């Protein structure tokens, strides 16, 4: 039986090791504790008097204990050191995870490209410090050699600006007209995200409520949640957006407890102020900005991207709510009408949005304009500014100023970047990402985790194909308007150094060529040790 033979060899080897360890321990004990000799003699006599099978059991126990202790010590040494009750290795692993809130950002993304970690463990020593094992710092001259020629690509427009920052050092390692303001297009959503998170916090949720508006009347009050849905819940999703069906369930129960089965229905959109229509006019990229809407007022079954939109999202949501109440045994007397909730309303039902962190991630991954405008207005509400385009712009500017960000020339006409009058610098975009990448500002981390991954998710899912250095390694927010192309994000360079970048160009005539030129710039940073 060859397996038994192998076991016996291993057993004899382990037995010899145990005996050697025992002898060493005994010698040490004899030297240190002379008074324990009698106990040792007694133990030896007990060993000799014990039956053979008992001796084998004791030997196995000794070997197992010694082996287990050695393994445990090795594991602790490998995982340590410890910091405030948490292994630093465990914290590092947690820091390197992709915090995408469990959401699948693409219907069929295919296998993930093989690439270095997109984000090192922020706060860990290796990528950021100058100590042993730290990634080398790229030099200004090295990056200039890599990027300056690419900025001369004729596909780029006459205005070309760039900023690359080293996250660990917190300094700029490359710049080209980085202080000159330009139209950011959708990369302005980075500013919207940082402003909202800093003003409200990542755990903030937006309420949609039903209150009593009189003896036999209720009012549906919109709080500004653009992700409120009237669709059936998605099976298997870890997190569900607030659902109008759930609100109808709770409302029907509350009304029946009051012995009410027939009520009037009003809807209140007073949380927002100013014009609802974006300055670009009716557009499939965005719905009228209303404090009450379901499924972003989409008239098809899509959940992101362009789609035909209802021109009166609040009224459409209220009509849907009336139909849901009818299905639950509550008759709405007449049609829903605009109304104002009482100053001291009696709430009878409430649903809450996903946390702000999840809304930010979705906004950035899909470049969702409706969420962007909603978050800008939530920032205005937090600042006690009118929740309008103008009030939101002031609130975003003020929130970023409190973060001591470079706001020279910054203009925020909207929260989405659809307005061509928005202006920011490449330096502002890169510093927004620098703050979001800082281990000292964990509340801003959704700005980084929500960025699309090159060749894999969101608005970058169809870009960087064939660019091995950038695919899977670049995470970036895109921005595109006619004649405007921007890209801002994070990348780990060839030496493992975490960098943030922003590239902006205006006056382009070849949209695809300009887009490819920006992608090459980001890939060059990923491929560069640049020392």
In tens, the pLDDT along 71-128 reads: 333 333 333 333 333 333 333 333 333 333 333 333 444 444 444 444 444 434 433 4
Q: Compute the CA torsion angle 130, 134, 136, 140 (nearest 10 deg).
A: -50
Give CA–CA dist 20/298, Å, rounded.
77
Using alpha carbons only, give the angle 244, 279, 395 rounded to the nearest 5 degrees.
Answer: 75
Rg of the chain in Å (alpha carbons):
31
Give CA–CA dist 456/108, Å, rounded.
10
- Residue 152 catalytic? no
Give CA–CA dist 298/308, Å, rounded.
6
Instruction: Please give the mean pLDDT across all residues of the chain.
Output: 82
Highest mean pLDDT pick, 2-11, 238-247, 264-273: 264-273
H helices of 437-484, in order, are: 446-449
H helices of 262-368, in order, are: 313-327, 356-366
Is the Cβ–Cβ distance between 415 and 189 less than 8 Å?
yes
pLDDT in tens, 311-323: 999 999 999 999 9
Give CA–CA dist 358/374, Å, rounded.
14
Alpha-carbon distances, residue 295 vs 287, 314, 521 (angstroms): 10, 11, 37
Question: What's the burial of 81, exposed, middle or buried (CB within 10 Å: 0-12/13-18/19+)?
Answer: exposed
- Among the listed residues 163, 189, 430, 437, the single catalytic one is 189
- Measured in residues, the chain has a length of 531
Q: What is the pLDDT of residue 149?
A: 96
Pairing of strands 262-268, 337-338: parallel
pLDDT in tens, 365-404: 999 999 999 999 999 999 999 999 999 999 999 999 999 9
Question: What's the burial of 399, exposed, middle or buried (CB within 10 Å: 0-12/13-18/19+)?
Answer: buried
Is the Cβ–Cβ distance between 504 and 417 less than 8 Å?
no
| Average pLDDT estimate for 149-172 | 96
Q: What is the pLDDT of residue 124?
A: 43
Tokens of 343: 């100053």
Question: What's the burial of 337, exposed, middle or buried (CB within 10 Å: 0-12/13-18/19+)?
Answer: exposed
Tokens of 361: 């991630």
pLDDT interval class at 239 (50, 70, 90)? confident
Alpha-carbon distances, residue 43 vs 61, 328, 511 (angstroms): 16, 80, 86
Tokens of 333: 């007397």
Helix, strand, coil tally for the chain in percent (to 5): 40, 15, 40
Say how many C-beta atoms besides its own lie within 10 A of residue 59's C-beta. Answer: 16
Using alpha carbons only, give the angle 423, 226, 348 rounded to the nearest 5 degrees.
Answer: 140
Question: What's the burial of 494, exposed, middle or buried (CB within 10 Å: 0-12/13-18/19+)?
Answer: middle
Asked whether the predicted pLDDT for residue 174 surpasses 60, the reply is yes
Give CA–CA dist 231/234, Å, rounded.
8
Residue for token pair 């007073």:
270
pLDDT in tens, 469-526: 889 999 999 999 999 999 999 999 999 999 999 999 999 999 999 999 999 999 999 9
Helices and strands (DSSP H and E) totals, the chain: 15, 13
- Among the listed residues 101, 163, 186, 388, the single catalytic one is 186
Q: What is the pLDDT of residue 45?
A: 53
Tokens of 357: 């962190």
Angle between helices 244-257 and 313-327 (to 10 degrees): 50
Give CA–CA dist 260/267, Å, rounded.
19
pTM: 0.77
| Average pLDDT estimate for 232-241 | 84
pLDDT interval class at 44 (50, 70, 90)? low
Q: What is the pLDDT of residue 48?
A: 52
Tokens of 284: 């499939």
- Residue 114 catalytic? no
- Residue 367 catalytic? yes
- Among the listed residues 101, 353, 357, 367, the single catalytic one is 367
Name the strand (E) or helix (H) holding 510. Answer: none
């Amino acid at each position: 039986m060859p397996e038994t033979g192998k076991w016996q060899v291993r057993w004899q080897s382990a037995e010899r090791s145990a005996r050697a360890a025992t002898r060493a321990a005994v010698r040490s004990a004899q030297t240190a504790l002379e008074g324990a000799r009698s106990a040792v003699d007694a133990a030896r006599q007990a060993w000799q008097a014990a039956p053979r099978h008992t001796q084998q059991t004791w030997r196995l126990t000794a070997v197992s204990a010694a082996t287990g202790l050695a393994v445990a010590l090795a594991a602790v040494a490998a995982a340590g050191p410890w910091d405030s009750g948490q292994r630093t290795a465990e914290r590092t692993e947690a820091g390197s995870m992709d915090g995408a809130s469990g959401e699948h950002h693409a219907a069929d993304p295919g296998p993930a490209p093989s690439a270095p970690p997109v984000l090192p463990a922020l706060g860990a020593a290796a990528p950021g410090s100058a100590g042993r094992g730290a990634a080398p710092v790229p030099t200004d001259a090295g990056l200039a050699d890599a990027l300056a020629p690419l900025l001369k690509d004729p596909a780029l427009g006459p205005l070309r600006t760039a900023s690359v920052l080293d996250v660990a050092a917190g300094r700029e390692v490359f710049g080209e007209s980085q202080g000159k303001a330009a139209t950011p297009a959708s990369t302005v959503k980075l500013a919207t995200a940082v402003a909202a998170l800093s003003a409200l916090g990542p755990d903030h949720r937006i309420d949609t409520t039903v209150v009593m508006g009189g003896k036999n009347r209720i009012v549906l009050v919109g709080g500004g949640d653009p992700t409120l849905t009237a669709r059936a819940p998605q099976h298997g999703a870890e997190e569900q957006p607030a659902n109008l069906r759930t609100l109808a369930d709770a409302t029907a129960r509350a009304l029946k407890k009051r012995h009410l089965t027939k009520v009037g229905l009003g809807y209140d959109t007073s949380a927002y102020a100013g014009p609802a229509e974006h300055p670009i006019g009716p557009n499939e990229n965005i719905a009228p900005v209303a404090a009450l809407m379901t499924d972003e007022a989409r008239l098809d079954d899509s959940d992101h991207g362009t789609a035909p939109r209802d021109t009166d999202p609040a009224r459409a949501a209220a009509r849907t709510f009336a139909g849901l109440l009818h299905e639950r045994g509550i008759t709405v007397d007449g049609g829903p009408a605009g109304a104002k909730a009482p100053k001291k309303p009696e709430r009878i039902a409430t649903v809450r949005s996903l946390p702000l962190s999840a809304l930010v991630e979705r906004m950035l991954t899909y470049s969702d304009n409706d969420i962007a405008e909603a978050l800008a207005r939530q920032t205005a509400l937090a600042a006690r500014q009118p929740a309008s385009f103008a009030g939101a712009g002031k609130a975003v500017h003020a929130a970023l100023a409190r973060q001591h960000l470079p706001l020279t020339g910054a203009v925020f006409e909207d929260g989405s970047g659809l307005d061509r009058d928005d202006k920011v610098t490449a330096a502002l975009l890169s510093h927004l990402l620098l703050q979001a990448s800082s281990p000292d500002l964990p509340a801003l981390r959704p700005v980084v985790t929500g960025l699309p991954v090159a060749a894999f998710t969101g608005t970058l899912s169809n870009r960087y194909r064939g660019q091995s250095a950038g695919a899977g390694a670049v995470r970036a927010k895109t921005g595109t308007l006619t004649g405007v192309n921007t890209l801002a994000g994070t990348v780990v360079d060839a030496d493992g150094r975490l960098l943030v970048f922003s590239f902006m160009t205006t006056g382009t005539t070849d949209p695809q060529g300009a887009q490819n030129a920006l992608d090459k710039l980001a890939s060059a940073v990923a491929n560069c040790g640049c020392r």
